[in-house]
Structures are given as structure tokens and as C-alpha cells.
């Protein structure tokens, strides 16, 4: 299990993963009871503009798959959350939210990897997201080839990424990405 160290002197206010010492941190599956705390976390991290984002609109009205969506806690404080929403032919990952003071600690990457591992174990083959390749690339994501998928609304095509959980799962996938149901 990983633990957080106290904020380091050279990076005030930042926490990092550490194998010993610090406050206990853990990941656990999301539950409906977590949703109010996640909503507050999303508000702090993204503000009201999150409602206008195309990726948010795709997930609107769709329930997360709680077995594939996780939260991170330091003690009892919820500091991170990752949502996986079922869609066809892929799962939609996001939002990935980490409380700003905890962003440098690796929580986001741990949440994503936990969700990808759970999705793979559950037999899912493909995950899509809108995000930064520089961040998600190290977790196995690749850019969607230009023109292959189209999101409703405005999405920078360079930020549309996919991750094959099963080799070949992205073959033949093309067209408009529709709202999760």
C-alpha cells in the first residue's frame, strides 16, 4: 500500500506517494454515497464551466459503472475520483478529478490505472477520453487518428484519446460518439 508523505519543504502544499510514513491513503470503488463529495470536488477543480464541456455532456444522464470507478482518500477526506461510464463500443473515462493540493502525488495516475485494470478484468476492450496526451500517454492511451471519431460539440481532436484493453479493440471503430445511455 502507498502512503502520502507530509508536504515537502521544497514544494509547499504538495503531497507525494511514499511507501512509508505520512497519512494512510487508499483507493476504493465509488458508491452512490460518494456522489455529493465528488460533485464538490469537481466544482473546486473545474468550476461551473464543466457543464459546457462536450465530454461532460456525453456522460450526462449516464450512471457510472461503480465497479470501474474509484475514489482516493487520505484518511476520511476524499481527494480524488475517477469515473468510467459505459457506452458503446467503449467506456468513457472521466472526469478524473484530484483536489488541487494533492495533484502532484500520483493520485490521478493511480485512479486511472485502477479503473483500466478493473475494466480489463471485467472483459471490456476499449476506453475513450478527452485529455492531454502528455499525461495519459504514459498510461497506455494514444491519439485517435484524425477524422476517425467525432464528438458532438466542440472537442479539440488532438485531445481525443483511446486505450485498447484488448488488442485490436479499436479496429473498425469510427463515426460519431454519442451520449452514454
pTM value is: 0.79
In CATH, which of 3.40.630.30, 3.40.50.20, 3.40.50.2300, 3.30.70.100 is domain 3-177?
A: 3.40.630.30
Q: What residue ranges in the chain does DSSP mark as E strands?
A: 3-4, 17-18, 25-29, 70-74, 77-86, 91-98, 126-130, 142-143, 149-151, 160-164, 175-177
Distance CA 163, CA 19 (A): 29
Cis peptide before 12 (omega within 30 of 0): no
Q: Where are the domains of the chain?
A: 3-177
Cell of 102: 494533492
Q: Note if the bond before 94 is cis, omega within 30 degrees.
A: no
Question: What string of pLDDT tens digits covers the 181 residues of the chain?
Answer: 333 333 333 333 333 444 334 454 789 999 999 989 888 888 877 766 654 455 555 556 678 899 999 999 988 889 999 999 988 889 999 889 898 888 888 899 999 999 999 999 999 999 999 899 999 999 999 999 998 988 767 778 888 999 999 999 999 999 887 765 5
Amino acid at each position: 500500500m502507498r502512503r502520502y508523505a507530509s508536504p515537502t519543504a521544497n514544494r509547499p502544499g504538495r503531497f507525494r506517494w511514499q511507501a512509508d510514513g505520512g497519512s494512510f491513503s487508499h483507493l476504493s470503488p465509488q458508491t452512490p454515497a460518494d456522489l455529493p463529495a465528488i460533485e464538490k470536488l469537481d466544482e473546486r477543480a473545474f468550476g461551473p464551466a464543466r457543464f459546457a464541456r462536450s465530454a461532460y455532456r456525453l456522460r450526462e444522464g449516464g450512471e457510472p459503472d461503480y465497479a470501474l470507478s474509484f475514489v482516493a482518500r487520505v484518511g476520511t477526506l476524499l481527494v480524488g475520483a475517477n469515473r468510467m461510464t459505459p457506452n458503446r463500443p467503449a467506456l468513457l473515462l472521466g472526469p478524473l478529478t484530484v483536489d488541487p493540493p494533492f495533484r502532484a502525488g500520483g493520485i490521478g495516475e493511480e485512479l486511472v490505472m485502477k479503473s483500466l485494470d478493473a475494466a480489463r478484468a471485467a472483459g471490456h476492450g476499449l476506453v475513450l477520453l478527452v485529455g492531454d496526451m502528455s499525461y495519459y500517454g504514459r498510461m497506455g492511451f494514444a491519439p485517435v487518428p484524425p477524422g476517425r471519431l467525432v464528438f458532438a460539440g466542440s472537442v479539440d481532436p488532438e485531445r481525443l484519446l483511446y486505450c485498447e484493453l484488448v488488442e485490436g479493440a479499436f479496429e473498425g471503430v469510427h463515426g460519431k460518439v454519442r451520449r452514454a445511455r
